[in-house]
Amino acid sequence: MIDPRNISILDYTYELPNERIALHPLAERDASKLLIYRNGIIGEDIYRNIARHIPVDSLLIFNNSKVINARMRFTKSSGGVIEIFCLEPHETIKEYSSVMNQRGSATWKCFVGGASKWKEKELVKQLRIGDVSVTIKACLVKKLSDAYIIQFSWEPAQYSFAEVIEAAGDIPLPPYIKREADKDDAGRYQTIYAKHDGSVAAPTAGLHFTDNVFIELSEKNIQKSYVTLHVGAGTFRPVKAQVMNDHEMHAEWIDVDIETIRRIREKKDHIIAVGTTSLRTIETLYWLGIKTILQPGNENLALGQWDVYEPGILQPDFTVEESLHSLERWLERKKLDRLFTQTRLLITPGYRFRIAKAIITNFHQPQSTLLLLVAAAVGDDWKKIYRYALKNEFRFLSYGDGNLLFIDQG
């Protein structure tokens, strides 16, 4: 087995011309091109016809996290602009909705553009929610090695943080989309099934799905379930370390109800993940189930970056049935109807997928953890897939085209 700690990210690169990065979505979501890879063979279609390429009785797993308007701009008294990009809640939380529903104040870990020029005690921004004038203040609490802790407060305090940030901020387009967000992005950089506020980047594989696509999937008895993984800005973080052992994988919050876990267990041989976030979530479920078997007294389940590669976790090799059933029993003992925790699962070549049989995803940046995940699924054929996509005018990254990759189960 490949030791993921020794993997060099330089082995997972390719030349991506700027003109191949999609700066805008297509007019129709499901008109995007779709590359299909199975058993070493590459085919091509569009998303509108994706049901034709998915086996009958499959269960598609979607991430229903909703992108928040995480980018806020504050104007200083001197006229200069400070940009604050909300990353994740700073305080310990038991569920994400409680954070988004906070009234009056909230404390977040943030990126700050122009931080060296922030001299005032607090920044102030005026906005309107409906017919009401609202004042939001930002106070710099602490500098971290990679970000800042910012306390937001607002008056009137009757509004939730979700309402305030919706009015105060802009949709956070990825850094490689080098333009300002416009009014169309507010709708197009969300999936049509987005439900739970919390992501600062879209689960972009789902951007291609429409009501008509869902109808066609249903007619073929292809079912769907939803998990929630709140996508962090770390998904865009380039791997700067020479080997993966020196790269710190970002943590992200997942939220999955017990009925979905049970449904995945029952359909375990027919699971397709829509997006890398959905895939990381369902694979995390397997490993957390293993932890409940090996450590039944564990009170707080979470998954670290290297946990799944440790011999004590890998052996013995439990089935999906055993693992997920144990996870369900653990939740029942604690009288919980859902699992809410963090995952830092890093999927690299050498990883053996336990639950996902295929993944629907976009084309990813060179030297990224997302490209490593693709290479884990299809082996060295990732090079063949990306060469084909570049040669055949596929559009890359968040607003680009995508692929349906059947995972090499060998």
The domain that contains 336 carries what CATH number?
Answer: 3.40.1780.10
pLDDT tens readout for residues 59-94: 999 999 999 999 999 998 888 899 999 998 987 778
User: What's the rounded mean pLDDT across residues 210-220?
Assistant: 97
In a domain, 176, yes or no: no
In a domain, 177, yes or no: no
Residue 316 pLDDT class (50, 70, 90 cuts): low
How far apart are the two ends of the chain, measured CA to CA in Å? 12
In a domain, 186, yes or no: no
User: What's the rounded mean pLDDT across residues 382-398?
Assistant: 98
Residues 316 and 338 in one domain: yes
More confident residue, 36 or 94: 36
Cα dihedral 93, 100, 285, 351, rounded to 10, equals: -100
| DSSP, res 192 | T
Contact 87, 111 (CB under 8 A): yes
In a domain, 185, yes or no: no
Reply yes or no on whether the pLDDT at 248 is more than 90: no
In a domain, 332, yes or no: yes
Residues 56 and 104 in one domain: no
Continuous segment of H or E residues that includes residue 163? helix 161-168
Residues 76 and 15 in one domain: no
Query: Lowest-pLDDT range, 82-91, 126-135, 381-390?
Result: 82-91
Residue 202 pLDDT class (50, 70, 90 cuts): very high
Residues 88 and 161 in one domain: yes
DSSP letters spanning 317-367: ---HHHHHHHHHHHHHHTT-SEEEEEE-----TT---SS-SEEEEE---TT
Residues 308 and 228 in one domain: yes
- At 236 the pLDDT is 67
Residues 156 and 210 in one domain: no
Residues 143 and 212 in one domain: no
The domain containing residue 308 runs over which residues? 4-66+193-406
- At 145 the pLDDT is 85
Number of domains in the chain: 2
| Rounded Cα–Cα distance for residues 342 and 363 (Å) | 25
Residues 54 and 88 in one domain: no
pLDDT tens readout for residues 101-113: 999 999 999 999 9
- 206-239 in b/e burial notation, b at 16+ Cβ within 10 A? bbbbbeebbebbeeeebebbbbbbbbbbbbbeeb
User: What's the rounded mean pLDDT across residues 40-62?
Assistant: 98
In a domain, 314, yes or no: yes
User: What's the rounded mean pLDDT across residues 147-168?
Assistant: 95
Residues 312 and 332 in one domain: yes
In a domain, 183, yes or no: no
Structure tokens at 18: 């700027």
- Of 139, 170, 201, which residue sits at a domain end? 170
| Rounded Cα–Cα distance for residues 349 and 347 (Å) | 7
- At 315 the pLDDT is 60
| Rounded Cα–Cα distance for residues 332 and 336 (Å) | 6
Residue 121 pLDDT class (50, 70, 90 cuts): confident
Residues 252 and 349 in one domain: yes
In a domain, 137, yes or no: yes
Across the chain, mean pLDDT equals 93
Reply yes or no on whether the pLDDT at 184 is more than 80: yes
- Of 101, 135, 170, which residue sits at a domain end? 170
Residues 223 and 127 in one domain: no
- The residue written with tokens 């694979």 in the block is 283
Residues 6+ apart with CB under 8 A from 378: 37, 385, 405, 407, 408
| Rounded Cα–Cα distance for residues 253 and 198 (Å) | 9
Reply yes or no on whether the pLDDT at 197 is more than 70: yes
Phi, psi of 195 (to 5 degrees): -135, -45
Q: What angle do CA 272, 276, 383 make, to 5 degrees?
A: 95
More confident residue, 199 or 298: 199
Q: List the one residue out of 9, 10, 62, 14 whose CA is nearest residue 369.
A: 9
| Rounded Cα–Cα distance for residues 168 and 98 (Å) | 19
- At 225 the pLDDT is 98
| DSSP, res 302 | -
Reply yes or no on whether the pLDDT at 215 is more than 70: yes
| Strongest mean pLDDT among 199-203, 294-298, 310-314, 316-320 | 199-203
Residue 161 pLDDT class (50, 70, 90 cuts): very high
Torsion sign over Cα 296, 325, 229, 347: positive
Residues 150 and 58 in one domain: no
User: What's the rounded mean pLDDT across residues 22-50?
Assistant: 97
User: What's the rounded mean pLDDT across residues 274-290?
Assistant: 97
Structure tokens at 125: 């921004």
